[in-house]
Chains A and B, each alone.
Chain A
Amino acid sequence: MTPLAGYLLVAALLFAIGLAGALTRRNAILVLIGIELMLNAGNLNLIAFWRYGPHPEVLTGMMFAIFSIAVAAAEAAVGLGLVIQIHRHAHTTDLDAMNRMKG
């Protein structure tokens, strides 16, 4: 079992956990947390591949990870803003309650 495989398995586990959280929690914010976890699993994969890949000096994987971190930050900001607005509007963050498009 190579170290890379280990990292990949951890990443997969994280991804699965995040997905489970996103799929099972009711609170929209926690769904977002799950999504963040999935993103981070992806980052871990990127870094691991960069580290054990053929050309680490090109930095592709790390750059990818850094950019995805930035994108994740943006995503979190917008997502949470949406959640807050929804809460103001519907006074709930329960996803089971939020199943209508009409206000």
Chain B
Amino acid sequence: MQAAIPFAPQLAVSPIAEILWLIPALPVMAAGVAALLKQSRRKISATLAIGSMSFSLLLSIVAFVHVLTGWAQGFAVREVVNFTWIQVGAASVDLGWVLDPLSAVMLVMVSLVGLLIFIYSTGYMAHDINYTRFFCFLSLFAGAMLGVVIANSSLLLFMCWELVGLTSYLLIGFWYQKPAAAAAAKKAFLTTRIGDVFFLLGIVWLFAQTGTLLFYNHGTGSIESASLSVLLTQPAALGLTAAGAIGLLIFAGAAGKSGQFPLHVWLPDAMEGPTPVSALIHAATMVAAGVYLIARVYPLMQAGALAGGTTMALTVVTWVGAFTAVFAALIAVAQNDIKRILAYSTVSQLGYMMAGLGMGGVAVGMFHLITHAFFKALLFMGAGSVIHGCHDEQDIRRMGGLRSDMPLTFLTYAIGMLALCGFPIFFSGFWSKDGILEAAQHWSVAKAPFYMLVFGALLTAFYMTRQISYVFFGQWRGKKPAHESPAVMTVPLAILAFFAIALGAIGTPVWPWFHDFLEGRATAFDLHGFAEPGLLIVMLTSTVVVLLGLFLGWRLYGDRSPRPEEPDALERAIPPVWAELRDRLYVDEFYGITVIAFYAWWARVADWIDRRVWGGAVTAVASVFALWARLNRFLDTNVVDGSFDKGCDELSVSGGLLARVQTGRVQTYLRILALAVVALAAILIWSSRA
């Protein structure tokens, strides 16, 4: 390992960093325009979205190249552009954006995948009425996501974060006429909110402690050494430093978005949305946002860690990640909905990323994030293509033998599947997952995560094999014969497939280009990368595990096609476990009987209090008044009225007298006015005469 390059802060901001804001701004503008378009203007809105996205991609690439050149010349680029949004006395609310390797890589990934998915959607959504609205939402989402990526201020990040949440809500519930979709949207929104509350708390706390919202601000930012040392001295509850506590809070937000264990429930349901949405949100971008967030505030998470050691926050991240990885993989085994399987596999892969972040640092987690973004988007879009081809059939038991019907889809899907399983050497997934496993093996705290992740890898290989053999092998079990999708859908698949393979090259131990890039080290190609202790073991294990998974999967399901109604192979083997898994380990039900039930009960209580207690009080008071009123009426009728009527008569008589004056003649009024003036003037003069 080479020594890290001394971090050279750049005060001079390059022009590209100056206009970095355009990258998210363009899609948002496109969305704004599209929002005003008539539903019939399908072409325009699609063109707008794709055009803006391609511009963003262009800019992102420029930014990336800029960072790259800076890195090649030997210093870690970190350019920040900050400005004060609101000035409140001494405190100022600052916004800003940052251009560093992390954001640059993420920018390219998001805009590239986004663009491909946009193009894909033009084919997939071709028959939808609300085409225009769809692209409006889509570009808004992309803009928000890119905003999250470049944000240098926790406030700006949170804004974009929430915007992402909102747009994901809109997109998941895009077919709001389907009750399931509407429910899923609501569920996603609420579940992520739970995480966001903690996230907001974390931000506020951070602001309170460091007095700045900016992450990087030439040494005075909230996650730069100066303020970190402050944070470390602040003790918080149960032996945590303020830094650790804030880190955990932020992680809660990240867990919400990235569907980590307790908050993962929304992700599978979110598959009710259109498949491009699933690909965009639930593979590439939104769910990655959580991981990216952790990577962004990594200095905070890592603060106080001894050399090679770890911190409380990171430990938590690791355990949650590892557990989620295995847990979701288990559930994925027993699902029959093609997209649900992918969803659970996404959850488990996110778990891998989290674990990677927790144990191996930014680079490891991010590398898996990038590779996964590509091959999972590929898988989702492949699934979308399959669904499209099978006339909106999503149950894998009603498919089969599609490899002959839709060869292109099959090819790309297989590549994606192998990448996801981490098939040795050739596929990016292998290298990224390998990095995580290696980190897990070296982890000082415990070995358990390592074994969990290995088991997770086995499961991954297994359920992917199961799925692919259900879908593409055997013979056709559906009703209408399937057909290959149009080029506009398959071409993006091909591109993604290419990346799914090629990306591996930049993260091999032999040439750990990506890691060095992110961590600002000079990189080099040396075969001693393999010589690192235990690396070969790890690679070997994972290879074996993957092959085992593939073998098992093929053994159980390969090339034979059970009829839909007859039970699953695994079900025949171990029915109880299967049932458990099929019902997703009853997490939803658990929430149902705990949280939701509690809320329902509490609502009933409140209702009861309203009705009985307050209602009773009000009625009591009211009745008292009613009684009093009756008394009054008695008095009125018998005592007051007589005298009052008398008085009224008097008044009307005298009024009649006065009314004589109101002749309606202007001149009369004028006369009276003049007389009054005369009187007043006379008094005045008389008084002043003496």
A interface list, Cβ under 8 A from B: 19, 22-24, 31, 95-96, 98-101
Contacts and interface: CB of A to CB of B under 8 A. Distances in A.
Given A95-B665, A99-B665, 20 more contacts: A19-B670, A19-B674, A22-B667, A22-B670, A23-B667, A23-B670, A23-B671, A23-B674, A24-B667, A31-B666, A31-B667, A95-B666, A95-B667, A96-B665, A98-B664, A98-B666, A99-B663, A99-B664, A100-B664, A101-B664
Interface string B652-675: 000000000001111100110010
Contacts of B667: 22-24, 31, 95
Contacts of B674: 19, 23
22 contacts: A19-B670, A19-B674, A22-B667, A22-B670, A23-B667, A23-B670, A23-B671, A23-B674, A24-B667, A31-B666, A31-B667, A95-B665, A95-B666, A95-B667, A96-B665, A98-B664, A98-B666, A99-B663, A99-B664, A99-B665, A100-B664, A101-B664
Interface of B: 663-667, 670-671, 674
Contacts of A95: 665-667
Contacts of B663: 99
A99 B665 CA distance: 5
B616 to A, nearest CB: 55
B83 to A, nearest CB: 51
B662 to A, nearest CB: 10
The secondary structure that dominates the A interface is loop
A95 B648 CA distance: 34
Contacts of B670: 19, 22-23
A24 B664 CA distance: 16
A98 B664 CA distance: 8
A51 to B, nearest CB: 23
Contacts of B664: 98-101
B689 to A, nearest CB: 16
Contacts of B671: 23
Across the A-B interface, the 4 shortest Cβ-Cβ residue pairs? A99-B664, A99-B665, A23-B667, A23-B671
Most chain A CB within a 10 A radius of its CB, from B664, B665, B667, B674:
B667
A95 B670 CA distance: 12
Contacts of A99: 663-665
Nearest to B677: A19
Contacts of A22: 667, 670
Contacts of A101: 664
Nearest to B667: A23
Interface centre among A23, A96, A101 (most CB of B within 10 A): A23
Contacts of B666: 31, 95, 98
A98 B670 CA distance: 15
B675 to A, nearest CB: 11
A19 B667 CA distance: 10
A24 B665 CA distance: 12
A19 B677 CA distance: 12
Among B663, B664, B666, max chain A CB count under 10 A is at B666
A101 B674 CA distance: 23
A20 to B, nearest CB: 10
B685 to A, nearest CB: 13
Contacts of B665: 95-96, 99
A23 B673 CA distance: 11
A38 B664 CA distance: 23
A22 B667 CA distance: 7
A19 B673 CA distance: 11
B508 to A, nearest CB: 90
B415 to A, nearest CB: 86
B667 to A, nearest CB: 5
A100 B662 CA distance: 11
Contacts of A23: 667, 670-671, 674
A95 B663 CA distance: 12
A8 B674 CA distance: 19
A75 to B, nearest CB: 15
B576 to A, nearest CB: 93
A23 B670 CA distance: 7
A96 B665 CA distance: 7
A99 B666 CA distance: 8
A96 B668 CA distance: 10
Nearest to B674: A19
A98 B663 CA distance: 10
Nearest to B665: A99
